[in-house]
Amino acid sequence: MPDEATRAEVVLLMGPPGAGKGTQAAKLATARELHKLSTGDMLRSHVAKGTELGRKAEGIMKAGELVPDDLIIAMVESEIAAMEPVRVLLDGFPRTPGQAAALDALLGRQGVALTAAVALDVEEDELVRRLSGRAADEGRSDDTEEVVRNRMEVYRRQTQPLLDYYAEHNKLLRVNGMGAVDDVFVRVTEVLP
């Protein structure tokens, strides 16, 4: 029997802006000994460092639009391809059908199956409340009211349809993301295999 820490595991955390993906990803990565890959955090770090990718992504992120698939896929692939075993928690990826197909192909090449796609369900009023709270505390450049509205629309149009894709493949686990962080975390850990 392989050790917990040597078995491949691939968990996706999905949901609209402010659903708590990053918050839950940090806790889950520690609890399950997974390597957390948050494409939003990775991109913000590229922007802060002024890399070529950061320069390409900055304006797109400020507008709340999606960074092109090829850039995102290359960024994620280079991390996952180097993992042995693959034990990864993906926060905010995939976000488009093209990214989902690229992830399937990559996992196929590495002989690894997706464990689950966890979708956090949070009411829109609460999303707005959380993101305006963060705008006041941290001043993330895409947390202004107008950009938040666009991020939600982009989510509905481009990312939400992926939930059906994962449901069709029996990988989708929906979790109520309302309430206290620790209560949501208990729900997430309970649904995961």
Q: Catalytic residue positions?
A: 21, 95, 134, 140, 151
Residues 6+ apart with CB under 8 A from 148: 17, 18, 64, 128, 131, 132, 135, 142
Examine residue 46 and tell whether it contacts ligand AP5 (CB under 6 A). Answer: no
Examine residue 22 and tell whether it contacts Mg ion (CB under 5 A). Answer: yes
- State the binding partner of 174 from Mg ion, ligand AP5, none, CB within 5 to 8 A by kind: none
DSSP state for residue 7 in the 8-state scheme? S
State which residue has the least CB distance to ligand AP5. 40
Q: How far apart are CA 44 and CA 121, in angstroms?
A: 25
Residues 6+ apart with CB under 8 A from 40: 22, 91, 92
Q: Which residue from 113, 122, 112 is spatially nearest to 188, judged by alpha carbons?
A: 122
- State the binding partner of 80 from ligand AP5, Mg ion, none, CB within 5 to 8 A by kind: none
- In the bound state with ligand AP5, the residue whose beta carbon lies nearer, of 17 and 86, is 17
Parallel, antiparallel, or unpaired: how do β-strands 9-14 and 116-121 relate? parallel
Quick note: the x/- pattern for ligand AP5 over 94-113, rule CB under 6 A, is -x---x--------------
Q: Are 85 and 95 in contact (CB under 8 A)?
A: no
- State the binding partner of 188 from ligand AP5, Mg ion, none, CB within 5 to 8 A by kind: none
- In the bound state with ligand AP5, the residue whose beta carbon lies nearer, of 77 and 85, is 77
Q: Are 138 and 18 in contact (CB under 8 A)?
A: no
> What does the binding site for ligand AP5 look like in residue numbers (CB under 6 A)?
15, 17-23, 39-40, 43, 60-61, 64-67, 72, 92-93, 95, 99, 130, 133-134, 142, 151, 180-181, 184
> What does the binding site for Mg ion look like in residue numbers (CB under 5 A)?
21-22, 40
